[in-house]
Amino acid sequence: MMVSVVESGTGKNARIPGYRLAGKTGTAEQPNLTKVTSFVGIFPARQPRYVTLAVIYEPSGADAFGGTVAAPVVKSVIEELIVMDGISPSHREEVGSSEILAPVEQAPEEQAPETQKPAATDP
């Protein structure tokens, strides 16, 4: 259910082609009439390794909701995690080779033995 929030619902601004995230948006008005927006992202959706929460207090603009303000922040953090951990996309058909965030692992004969490391995958 939380995957559909990112794939086609209010959290679609957190969507990263080739990867599956789950998430939930939130928007609230505090008693003093200030707005708080949030988005929590869970990555990868199937076998989570990371949970990222962005909370934005008093966002500006008429279109300030969890999906429009906080979801892009979580997307940026998860994109950095993908690059840092070298996580390959689980749905390669969604992206062109130039759009893949994580470096594609070279064949073992192309790497120096001391740098061989299996690439993580997004299940």
Check residue 30 and give its pLDDT.
Answer: 86
Report how far residue 97's alpha carbon sits from residue 50's, in angstroms, rounded to the nearest whole number: 25
User: What are the start-end ranges of the H helices in the chain?
Assistant: 2-8, 71-85
The per-residue pLDDT of the chain, averaged, comes to 84
For the segment 110-115, the average pLDDT, to the nearest whole number, is: 43
Check residue 113 and give its pLDDT.
Answer: 44
Q: Quote the strand ranges of the chain, DSSP E.
A: 22-29, 35-43, 50-57
Quote the pTM value: 0.77
Check residue 33 and give its pLDDT.
Answer: 77
Structure-model confidence comparison of residues 104 and 9, the more confident one: 9
What six digits make up the tokens of 63?
Answer: 């279109």
Report how far residue 40's alpha carbon sits from residue 53's, in angstroms, rounded to the nearest whole number: 4
Q: Hey, is 106 helix, strand or coil?
A: coil
Query: Which residues lie closer than 8 Å to 4 by C-beta, 6 or more apart?
Result: none
One-letter amino acid at 53 equals L
For the segment 8-29, the average pLDDT, to the nearest whole number, is: 96
Measuring CA to CA, which residue among 60, 50, 62 is closest to residue 21?
Answer: 50
Q: Phi-psi bin for 61: left (phi > 0), alpha (psi -120 to 50), beta?
A: left
What six digits make up the tokens of 77?
Answer: 């953090």
Check residue 95 and give its pLDDT.
Answer: 78
| Tens digits of residue pLDDT in 36-92 | 999 999 999 999 999 999 999 999 988 999 999 999 999 999 999 999 999 989 888
pLDDT at residue 21 is higher than 90: yes
